[in-house]
Amino acid sequence: MAEPTAEPILEVRGLVKHYPLTQGIVIKRQIGAVKAVDGVDFDLGSGETLGIVGESGCGKSTVAKMLVNLERPTAGEIRYKGEDITRLSGRALKAVRRNIQMVFQDPYTSLNPRMTVGDIIGEPYEIHPEVAPKGSRRQKVQDLLDVVGLNPEYINRYPHQFSGGQRQRIGIARGLALRPEVIVADEPVSALDVSVQAQVVNLLERLQSEFRLSYVFIAHDLSIVRHISDRVGVMYLGRIVEVGSDAEIYEHPTHPYTQALLSAVPVPDPGAREHRERIILSGDVPSPANPPSGCRFRTRCWKARERCALEVPELAVPAEFRGLSGPAAHDSACHFAEEKHVVP
């Protein structure tokens, strides 16, 4: 794994995405908002992998889409090398977008079935011809196939001729086509068989050191990000509730939600199992259109008390001090994070 440096490549501040909730078919009235992402802050160090974890619907894909400019934020900043890219347009935006690319969750639906693999991987060159003039594209695509472990002779085949794992390699090759610096991988292995998940994660790790990439690696399961992440941020209902180094999050989680997520992860070491009681979360995730007051986790938290309904718990440490080498790398948005972990 590449060594993270202190210099952040991305700085995300106060990121918000609210989708309007409308009623009526002919005359649409806005009756509220789905608060998909509701105040997210983090830094991504150059060469670092930040894992983002949380249950389905907590806003992970919405964060990913904003990072690669597929969605415009309702509020907040995304600074790439110090520049807020949410305010850019035209050529300046295009130049920055080239450097931040996405690998999508589902390799079955994200590849156009009517296009050859060569056209799929080479498609970004249509928008950025300066990266690969027409005459050089075929060779570039074949090189990319080779880099992701596929036979360059497959260039004229169609997606259905490949397995799930191979299709995700094609998606990764397309993500690399413009030689980006940041890859946002949105649950890149969730749709794959367990047996091929590790191969794709290993490929991403190899590519990271080969091309000095920085990753935002999204997953709904803590066991997958553990292998690849330097730091992990845990999301719940549109917010980051705990962030820390891989070791802190896995060995000393302080937010009750992280503790619950971790208790569901199989522990290979029998000694460690003693400290880890199984916590079953009761109830469903509340609707992001109507999150609970105070702490959003309180309707499912066994430690909740009056203060939790009245006051929103915040991460105490500003994002710029939360890097791996920062003075307070581990932080938790819980009023009672200092208390010993007591299971009901």
Residue 253 interacting partner from Mg ion, ligand SF4, ligand ADP, none (CB closer than 5 to 8 Å by kind): none
Alpha carbons 94 and 89: distance in angstroms, whole number: 8
* Options 125, 297, 323, 330; binder of ligand SF4; rule CB under 6 A: 297
144, amino acid identity? L
Tokens of 258: 């992280």
Residue/partner pairs of 275-282 with CB below 8 Å, 24 or more apart: 277/343, 279/343
Tokens of 10: 């991305």
Contact between 61 and Mg ion by CB under 5 A: the answer reads yes
Pick from 182, 177, 96: which is nearest to 129 by CA? 177
Contact between 313 and ligand SF4 by CB under 6 A: the answer reads yes
Output DSSP code: residue 312: -
User: Angle 215-219-221 (CA atoms, 0-180°, nearest 5)?
Assistant: 135
| Closest chain position to Mg ion (CB) | 61
Residue 36 interacting partner from ligand SF4, ligand ADP, Mg ion, none (CB closer than 5 to 8 Å by kind): ligand ADP
Select from 54-62, 242-250, 266-274, 318-326 the region that touches Mg ion (CB under 5 A): 54-62
Alpha carbons 320 and 77: distance in angstroms, whole number: 14
Report the nearest approach of ligand ADP to the CB of residue 67 (Å). 12
Contact between 207 and ligand SF4 by CB under 6 A: the answer reads no
Pick from 344, 326, 302: which is nearest to 230 by CA? 326
Is residue 256 within 8 A of residue 301, CB to CB? The reply is: yes
User: What is the contact mask toward Mg ion in residues 10 to 49, using x (rule: CB under 5 A)?
Assistant: ----------------------------------------
Report the nearest approach of Mg ion to the CB of residue 286 (Å). 18
User: Angle 129-131-133 (CA atoms, 0-180°, nearest 5)?
Assistant: 55
Where along the sequence are the contacts to ligand ADP (CB under 6 A)? 19, 34, 36, 54, 56-62, 288
Contact between 303 and ligand SF4 by CB under 6 A: the answer reads yes
Contact between 323 and ligand SF4 by CB under 6 A: the answer reads no
Residue/partner pairs of 56-60 with CB below 8 Å, 24 or more apart: 56/220, 57/285, 57/288, 58/235, 58/236, 58/237, 58/238, 58/285, 59/17, 59/235, 59/237, 59/238, 59/288, 60/186, 60/187, 60/218, 60/220, 60/235
Contact between 334 and ligand SF4 by CB under 6 A: the answer reads yes
Report the nearest approach of Mg ion to the CB of residue 241 (Å). 17
Select from 8-16, 77-85, 161-169, 298-306 the region that touches ligand SF4 (CB under 6 A): 298-306
Contact between 336 and ligand SF4 by CB under 6 A: the answer reads yes
Report the nearest approach of ligand SF4 to the CB of residue 102 (Å). 31
Contact between 110 and Mg ion by CB under 5 A: the answer reads no
* Options 244, 256, 288, 291; binder of ligand SF4; rule CB under 6 A: 256
Output DSSP code: residue 136: G
Which chain residues interact with Mg ion by CB under 5 A?
Answer: 60-61
Which chain residues interact with ligand SF4 by CB under 6 A?
Answer: 255-256, 295, 297-298, 301, 303-304, 308, 313, 334-336
